[in-house]
């Protein structure tokens, strides 16, 4: 039952954000009573935390698979593509609600960001420099933090209102602009052989 | 006297931020009584607004001069260099205080950003594309907003703590990364002839 509750909550949060989903909605979705849910979880935020933890485990697992991709340019594009798939049907309100109203669950995301994502970006940049695909004069400390901020800006409805900008259009522009900003001629030569299959139009 | 008060306040705000500067400090700096200041301005925020308005007029004037620079790449680097000069001795707390505690004065900055800076960046990008220095496939709507956000991120002490990152080191990394991310081969050919004089090390 716990697993079914988490799965239903995940679907509802993904579709409608967090604030507008109630315990009633989850009960209705599963065809069970609210009392049954409260036997397992004290409140919506308790379910939310499990949802987030499971989602982050999945992401960490997928990120680990990126290591098997040899070329750092492919790796950076694939990482964004993983995000595209993971968030294809996600309401941007989810991230916004999390940040604004659920600081503890947002904290889980922040730790994930600090431990896994920043490390992943830094490793990617160091590998790219070592292999001559990225410029040797890059300031990795500054630019890895820019890349992380780009993910967040793309989700910020005050900067990119969802009715004007599809979130993935923004993310794809960002990753390709970021890559072009760090590549050497060797990097561009490789990138230009790939480009057509990687740019997704929205 | 009004002009002297504004000039003193500007110097103090620049050096210490806004919150830690009192009306007493301004009076002491000018060797006058607080009563004299209150004859001209009702409170610190009234002085602050005039300081900000004068600073923005100066910036708008300097931005207008950018139009005389023919090449869009030179223009984008020069715009950042103008900022470097304007902010060379500025305490980053100034922007932070403004955003957090003085919403009306911050609003003046935001209007300036929307009316002048975004327009300046968009014009620059369209010119660069038309002249073949920037890629024709750029999403100007998305990337001009990224560029604006980069200015703000560089000032955000939660992203770039001032004890670890010199603000202008971040700004210079951002403008050069941004340019490299949008240039064509023709753009790079021109850029590579300039680079040594434009990159400033911190």
pLDDT band at A58 (very low <50, low <70, confident <90, very high): confident
pLDDT band at B195 (very low <50, low <70, confident <90, very high): low
**Which residues in chain B have Cβ-Cβ distances shorter than 8 Å to A139?**
169, 173
Rounded Cα–Cα distance for residues B104 and A75 (Å): 45
Determine the Cα angle at A112 with ends B142 and B167, to 5°.
55
Which residues have CB under 8 Å from B155's CB, separation 6+? B92, B95, B96, B167
Rounded Cα–Cα distance for residues A144 and A136 (Å): 14
Q: What tokens appear for B121 in the block? A: 């960046």
Rounded Cα–Cα distance for residues B125 and B132 (Å): 10
* Nearest Cβ partner for A177 among B141, B143, B170: B143
Are A173 and B139 an interchain contact pair (Cβ–Cβ within 8 Å)?
A: yes
| For A189, nearest residue in chain B (alpha carbons) | B185
CATH number of A52-198: 1.10.357
Structure confidence at residue A198 (pLDDT): 45
Which one is predicted more confidently, A132 or B97? A132
User: What's the pLDDT tens digit per position in A140-198?
Assistant: 999 999 999 998 898 888 899 989 998 888 988 999 999 999 999 999 999 988 865 44
Say yes or no to pLDDT of B120 above 50: yes
pLDDT band at A199 (very low <50, low <70, confident <90, very high): very low
Which of A88-92, B69-73, B124-128, B170-174 has maximum average pLDDT? B124-128
User: What's the pLDDT tens digit per position in A9-56?
Assistant: 999 999 999 999 999 999 999 999 999 999 999 999 999 999 999 988
User: What's the pLDDT tens digit per position in B19-62?
Assistant: 999 999 999 999 999 999 999 999 999 999 999 999 888 888 88
Domain boundaries, chain A: 52-198
* Nearest Cβ partner for A149 among B159, B173, B182: B159
Number of helical H runs and strand E runs in chain B: 11, 0
Structure confidence at residue B81 (pLDDT): 84
| For residues A116-132, average pLDDT | 94
Q: Which is it for the CA torsion B91, B97, B99, B103, positive or negative?
A: negative
Q: What tokens appear for B156 in the block? A: 């955000």
Chain-centroid distance, C-alpha A77: 13
Say yes or no to pLDDT of B88 above 80: no
Secondary structure of A72-126 in HEC code, one letter for each residue: HHHHHHHHHHHHHHHHCCCCCHHHHHHHHHCHHHHHHHHHHHHHHHHHHHHHHHH
CB-based contact A194:A73 (threshold 8 Å): yes
Q: What tokens appear for A53 in the block? A: 């933890």
Are B169 and A142 an interchain contact pair (Cβ–Cβ within 8 Å)?
A: yes
Q: How far apart are the first and last CA of chain A?
A: 39
Scan for tokens 């590579």, then name that residue. B192
CB-based contact A140:A114 (threshold 8 Å): no
What are A183's strand-pairing partners? A134
Say yes or no to pLDDT of A200 above 70: no
Are A177 and B182 an interchain contact pair (Cβ–Cβ within 8 Å)?
A: yes
Chain-centroid distance, C-alpha A23: 26
Say yes or no to pLDDT of B201 above 70: no
CB-based contact B134:B128 (threshold 8 Å): yes
CB-based contact A176:A196 (threshold 8 Å): no
Interface with chain A: mutation pick from B114, B142, B196, highest number of A CBs within 10 Å: B142
Distance from CA of B179 to the nearest CA of A (A): 7
* Nearest Cβ partner for A169 among B142, B160, B177: B142
Which residues have CB under 8 Å from B57's CB, separation 6+? none
CB-based contact A86:A60 (threshold 8 Å): no
């Amino acid at each position: 039952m716990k697993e079914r509750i988490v799965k239903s909550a995940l679907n509802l949060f993904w579709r409608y954000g967090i604030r507008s989903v109630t315990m009633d909605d989850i009960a209705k979705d599963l065809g069970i009573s609210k009392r049954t849910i409260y036997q397992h979880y004290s409140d919506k935020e308790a379910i939310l935390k499990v949802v987030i933890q499971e989602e982050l485990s999945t992401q960490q697992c997928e990120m680990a698979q990126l290591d098997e991709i040899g070329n750092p340019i492919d790796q950076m594009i694939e990482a964004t593509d993983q995000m595209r798939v993971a968030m294809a049907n996600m309401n941007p309100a989810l991230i916004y609600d999390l940040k604004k109203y659920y600081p503890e669950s947002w904290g889980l995301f922040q730790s994930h960001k600090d431990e896994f994502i920043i490390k992943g970006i830094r490793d990617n940049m160091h590998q790219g420099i070592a292999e001559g695909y990225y410029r040797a004069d890059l300031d990795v400390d500054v630019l890895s933090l820019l890349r992380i901020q780009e993910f967040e800006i793309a989700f910020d409805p005050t900067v990119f209102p969802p009715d004007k900008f599809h979130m993935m259009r923004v993310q794809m522009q960002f990753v390709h602009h970021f890559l072009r900003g760090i590549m050497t001629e060797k990097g561009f030569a490789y990138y230009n052989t790939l480009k057509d299959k990687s740019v997704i139009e929205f």
